[in-house]
Structure 1
Amino acid sequence: MASSSNSPFLVALFETDTRHEAIIVASAALHIVATFAVLRLTKDSWLTAKLRRKESPPMAACLLAAYIVGFVHAVIVSVASVLVVVYGRYEIWPLTIAYSIGYFISDFIFYALPTRQLVMVIHHVVMIIGHYPTMERPAAVLYGAGDAELIMWLSAVGYLTEISNIFLDVRWFQLKVFGTPATLPYALNSLLLLVSYVVTRVLIMPIVTWTRVVPRYAQYKQAGQLTSFYVVTTGVGFITLMSVAYTVILLKPGVRAFIFYGTGKKDPKKLI
């Protein structure tokens, strides 16, 4: 433990209480089983049949399972993040992070690798490294320069991005499975996606990092936790830049085209 005392990630990794790590394993196993169950149940379904018109049969099954399981994850963690950010329910956050890391492991296996999404692989690694220490209070204390709840709150603010994933997943089904652009439900969902994407992914995290973390630089330095300070700020910067880049991609055909006519051959999952 002494060798990892200055690293919040290692403190969390080697914390003597392994309940959260057990939840990660259980969550990963649950998501893997759920993915196989979806693959089995949708193998000969009309959903897969429609998707096969646009994707190869193996990829159609892989994508359908990834989006269904991902949608459930997005709803669960979105609710949890709102409860923490708005109502201060910090006690649920370690369990939420453990559950989410399990999902990332499963999604890494069934989506990021099969679709060769290098950006998604990097995204998942950054998310796990960045949020893992918030599971254990000793690590969170180091990560927050003495304020564990600050870093849990910041982590939950970061997870508000999953709200946009709800609309992103719905949009994918509308485009790929139902083929319903240029309809009112599609336009409303696309508008909600655009607003939630920009607000939660481009605006909120840089603002809260600048106002809540950067002013604590001296406290991080005094506590000997400048590494934590740079991990937090650099991680936020990376995710924000990636989000800005994909916002440009989202809007490349124009706002009107995005809201009413879809993205052509682009896979919305790549916009995460």
Structure 2
Amino acid sequence: MSNWSELNIINRTLEAAPLIPFACAWVRRHHIPYVLRPVYYFVGIKSVLYFLNILSRFAFRNDVYLYHLATVVLVVLLAQTYRRLLPERFNKHIILGVWAFAAVAVLDAVWLDGLFKDVNAYSQATGCTLLVLLAILHITHITSAVHEQPLEKQPEFFLSLAVLAYCSCSVVSYLALSIVYNMGYSTTTTIRLDRIITSPEMVLLATQMGLLAWMFCFFPLNVAPTQALPRWLHYSHWHLRPFRLLGQALSSKAGKLKPRQAPARLPH
């Protein structure tokens, strides 16, 4: 197996990273607070897009439209989360930023890059810029306010870390992919450059999903682990098997020896 094939396998494996935070969130879905519910929907849709990506590669030989869709899901749901986390005075600015992104996303899909032709470098740059600004604003807000818990004990802090880890660098990957596919290289060279550029993107995606999984682990499970077991498997229904001798069960009472009584004294 060549190094290029191994690199491709690594990239395809890292694409499954959204399944980890979705699994962590699914078993805690009843205890995820209202402000972080959009993040739960985000990792759920990303998991669906992962399987849709596999289907598109084999059935249509084209998965470019999923890049456009994934960016819309990323920006809209995480911006909605920050709208709930940040003070109300920022709501108007967040809504205006999302509408500006929506306009760029439509232009990018219809005219600039094309929905099925090229990756959405323009909408990705616009959306990630908005999210990075919101993440910085949120970290500034929680560090300036007085909190009883340190930052590493606050789930929202890991959300902003995840946004900064991925969005601050993914713009470069999208722009590089857009340039490579428009340089007129041969098919083999283009595929190899695609794998090289996509590798950091996948590592950043895995880092983002790992931080989101960490965030969901702060919340309790839907049910206690012992209650999640089937009734027949619960340890409270286990009983000690009796000892048997020649096919007969020896009860615990039979094994106990009665205390020896003192012999009766004869009358003189």
Tell me which interval the TM-score lies in, with the shorter structure as reference length: 0.3 to 0.5
Name the larger-Rg structure. Answer: 2
Larger RCO (CA under 8 A, 6+ residues apart): 2
TM-score, normalised to structure 1's length? Answer: 0.34
* TM-score after normalising by structure 2: 0.35
